[in-house]
Structure 1
Amino acid sequence: MVLAQLGGSISRALQQMSNATVIDEKVLKECLNEITRALVQADVQFKLVCDMQTNIKKIVNLEDLAAGHDKRKIIQQAVFKELCKMLDAGKPSFTPKKGKPSVVMFVGLQGSGKTTTCTKYAYYHQKKGWKPALVCADTFRAGAFDQLKQNATKAKIPFYGSYMESDPVKIAVDGVERFKKENCDLIIVDTSGRHKQEAALFEEMRQVSEATKPDLVIFVMDSSIGQAAFDQAQAFKQSVAVGAVIVTKMDGHAKGGGALSAVAATKSPVIFIGTGEHMDEFEVFDVKPFVSRLLGMGDWSGFMDKIHEVVPMDQQPELLQKLSEGNFTLRIMYEQFQKILKMGPISQVFSMLPGFSAELMPKGREKESQAKIKRYMTMMDSMTNEELDSSNPKIMNESRIMRIARGAGRQVREVMEMLEEYKRLAKIWSKMKGLKFPKKGDMSALSRNMNAQQMGKVLPSQMLQQIGGMGGLQNLMKQMGSAKDMMGMFGDGN
């Protein structure tokens, strides 16, 4: 994700400032100049960047700070708050409710990824317990219905469209009525796009909107347009009541920062971002966790939500019990690999952990990491129950290793590599013995039940270094325990 380069640049600027013996005006200026350069390169509007720099200087008046103040923390908080302010539209969007039929209409220019995004949106809500349905009211683009039908079939979502009817309004009305009768509680209407903003597009959108009376209109926008996002979002808002925005193709464009800030300036809340072509490469956009992850500070609450999402409720006590006992078997490793693959893109999962920026898990190596996990699982499929359930690595003698390699169609050295990975994870797991793990969303409980020494042993050295060593970790955990929510350490907790 190119935006990770922006986050990496800002993180480095803050780290260099932290490493300075004395934080004075010169050090602060150098830090802010570096952040300014990174934001301008990400195509964020120059005026917004200048305003941000001015605001930070007002907040961080080094001369007025009394002795004993943590200047590094104050500067970090100021940068965090200003980035949040820049990307926050200041108002929430409509949220559909389960069991109550909601109509959501998608609009946008042709080529923005609108049809794919409709399916991603439906798939996301389907996993959360909604009963979505898709209606193709795009009669302008040849192949639009075929694409939506293919996507919907793959995601096992009901769909409606027509090869014969040319009136998009009639298709939209018929589809919405049909799915309301079938008790679908999230009816998504995909409308026509055009290559550019023109009167015919806006008139058609207005007619479909009047006929279907959507609860929410979502504008889908390609992130590569950068600062031009402001004019585009504004034009669509003036034609139909756009209530939310989804920004697509955030995995490959440096202009993503410009798109996000420009849309926020129109007071249109961004609700999701598309980070790739696959169905699960679709993230909820929540400003504070997003900025936190951008700066390499992690999103513990998001990470725990991911775990709770993929581990069934009836299995959670058993999993947490195994964690606290510290006994790690190959079967447990197999089960955890299954859960990691279900969570979605590995780099997305790791970016939620403090200190893990995309630089430590580059976008290009994501497929390689997933392939390795699948390879390990294939080898474990060739193991006996005795081997999978033993926590004694000495059980794996030469003859067993050769048998596993033959059964999995892999080389002996690959089985040895997998066993070394098991030993490494077992070592980390053993350090978690005796911990009490939090319920969903209660990350402060983790900081209360795990001291800094324990956490320091578990965290990779790179992560610990990014946090600021043991001292930084102690401060982080103290803040986690006292904040109203996970982001309280960076803002006022509201």
Structure 2
Amino acid sequence: MALDGLSERLQAALNKLKRKGKVTEADVKEAMREVRLALLEADVNFKVVKEFVSKVRERSIGQEVLDSLTPGQQVIKVVNDELTQLMGGEQSKLAQASKSPTVIMMVGLQGAGKTTTAGKLSRHLSKQNKRPYLVAGDVYRPAAIRQLEVIGEQVDVPVFSLGDKENPVRIATEGLAQAKESGADYCIIDTAGRLHIDETMMDELKAVRAAVNPDEILLVVDAMTGQDAVNVAESFNSDLGLTGVVLTKLDGDTRGGAALSVKAVTDCPIKFVGLGEKMDALEPFYPDRMASRILGMGDVLSLIEKAQANVDADRAKELERKMRTQQFTFDDFIDQLQQVRNMGPLDEILGMMPGMGQMKGLKNLKVDESHLTRVEAIIRSMTKQEKTHPEVINASRRRRIAQGSGTSVQDVNRLIKQFDDMKKMMKQFSGMQKSGGKKKRRGAFKFPFMQ
């Protein structure tokens, strides 16, 4: 999950309060010192940290908190509320022009992921049944135009280009005209970046802005550059008047405090975050959901949305029936595995579940995607009978499956045992549902994607 280091530090500081039956003003001040250090180490802007801690401390030593039945949890609620406000309070949606197409101008320094983000945004819009149109306006970076054309092919979105010898203003103007003619809902213009901010760069961007009058000017900035990301946002905002920020590489943990500083420093909302390299790894930014994830409360709404978008409801119902009636097979398992993988990296999915980060053994869980590939290879090397009736898999069959999947007999044995444990757990759960009682849990179950 994004900001893992900060999340762990904040949770450790606040959990001390949660365990106390009575919380004093001194307890709150001690916790706030640790919160302050955690934020500064995550490279959150110093002034932002100072104001944030001051607000939390002021609210937390009020009578409604210290005199409550659960003062520790009330302090955590205050921190959650203030974190949410710090990052913008509520989701800032993408603008939509009264007359199509809505013009989006992508700006930023080289290396921030601007061209890739333009492609991700077009895919995001396509999934909402909108018709995006990409304009390749970066004429300076070698192969930038070709990169956008390749991305356009990947996401099935048309790309307008006049080559790298043409003036960016003309490219933007003619690209917008083509977008209108094609009936596009959104025209996304990829502009040139530089290794640093300079006057020539800004003058050119101002000229493009004047030519196309964009509805959105989105700054793409690398979250892993920490405080530099905030400085870049300030400069672009003062010169261009940004309407939003897209934070890329938020799945990296290094100096990710930019997410907590950008809105407070520039008053410019974060509209999207990039959480990976794949074309679907762009998500709308929800301040309240991010605050909950940072504090280990999970992000159930995002989890539900991912499931609705990627999991077939009918197949899920059939799977649930098979689990309940003890008819679950290796074929069903691999089908379930593929649907879950479509939702994104599994460690990220687990991070959205409330309390998962605080569970022993799962706190620092990193799911090995190559291990999942081995699991799939083992199952695909089984015969139809073996998938349906694993009990027939004797020693010679295990050797054949291992050889066919390029794994070891030990890997095959481990998977079969984990699958057997899973079926036993399902049986126990089914029994609990029927009896309405509680059964003692024996040992710790390990999912087949866990090492």
Tell me the TM-score normalised to structure 1 length: 0.79
The amino acid of 1:160's aligned partner reads: F
- TM-superposed CA distance for 1:248, in Å, is 1.8
**Are 2:133 and 2:186, in contact at CA under 8 Å, matched by a contact in 1?**
yes
- 2:49 corresponds in structure 1 to 49
Take 1:360 and 1:103, find their aligned partners in 2: how far apart are those partners? 44
- TM-superposed CA distance for 1:190, in Å, is 0.1
Distance 1:175 1:16, change over 3 A: same
- 1:371 corresponds in structure 2 to 370
- 1:183 corresponds in structure 2 to 183
Take 1:316 and 1:66, find their aligned partners in 2: how far apart are those partners? 46
Distance 1:301 1:192, change over 3 A: same
- 2:137 corresponds in structure 1 to 137
- TM-superposed CA distance for 1:430, in Å, is 4.1
- 2:329 corresponds in structure 1 to 329
- TM-superposed CA distance for 1:224, in Å, is 3.8
Percent identical across equivalent pairs? 30
Take 2:432 and 2:115, find their aligned partners in 1: how far apart are those partners? 46
- TM-superposed CA distance for 1:376, in Å, is 0.9
- 1:417 corresponds in structure 2 to 414
Q: Which deviates further from its counterpart, 147-156 or 322-331?
A: 322-331
- TM-superposed CA distance for 1:375, in Å, is 0.9
Take 1:265 and 1:459, find their aligned partners in 2: how far apart are those partners? 50
Take 2:68 and 2:210, find their aligned partners in 1: how far apart are those partners? 61
Distance 1:285 1:323, change over 3 A: farther
Query: Is residue 118 from structure 1 mapped to residue 133 from structure 2 by the alignment?
Result: no
- TM-superposed CA distance for 1:428, in Å, is 4.3
- 2:379 corresponds in structure 1 to 380
Take 2:81 and 2:445, find their aligned partners in 1: how far apart are those partners? 28
Take 1:429 and 1:185, find their aligned partners in 2: how far apart are those partners? 48
Ranges in structure 1 where 5+ consecutive residues have no aligned partner: 437-450, 463-494
Take 2:418 and 2:307, find their aligned partners in 1: how far apart are those partners? 21
The 3-state SS of whatever aligns with 2:356 is coil
Query: Is residue 17 from structure 1 mapped to residue 17 from structure 2 by the alignment?
Result: yes
Distance 1:75 1:65, change over 3 A: closer
The 3-state SS of whatever aligns with 1:189 is strand
- TM-superposed CA distance for 1:379, in Å, is 1.2
Distance 1:64 1:380, change over 3 A: closer
**Are 1:91 and 1:267, in contact at CA under 8 Å, matched by a contact in 2?**
no
The 3-state SS of whatever aligns with 2:136 is strand
**Are 2:110 and 2:194, in contact at CA under 8 Å, matched by a contact in 1?**
yes
**Are 1:245 and 1:270, in contact at CA under 8 Å, matched by a contact in 2?**
yes
The 3-state SS of whatever aligns with 2:189 is strand
**Are 1:323 and 1:429, in contact at CA under 8 Å, matched by a contact in 2?**
yes
Ranges in structure 2 where 5+ consecutive residues have no aligned partner: 447-451
- 2:73 corresponds in structure 1 to 73
Distance 1:453 1:307, change over 3 A: farther
**Are 2:95 and 2:102, in contact at CA under 8 Å, matched by a contact in 1?**
no
The 3-state SS of whatever aligns with 1:309 is helix
The amino acid of 1:354's aligned partner reads: P
**Are 1:227 and 1:259, in contact at CA under 8 Å, matched by a contact in 2?**
no
Distance 1:72 1:426, change over 3 A: farther
Deviations 1:291-333 (A, max 9, x none): 1111221111211211111123554443454455565322221
- 1:268 corresponds in structure 2 to 268
The number of equivalent residue pairs is: 441
Distance 1:278 1:389, change over 3 A: same
- 2:449 corresponds in structure 1 to none
The amino acid of 1:163's aligned partner reads: G
**Are 2:152 and 2:158, in contact at CA under 8 Å, matched by a contact in 1?**
yes
The 3-state SS of whatever aligns with 2:382 is coil
The amino acid of 1:170's aligned partner reads: R
Stretches (4+) displaced over 6 A: 451-454, 456-462
The amino acid of 1:416's aligned partner reads: N
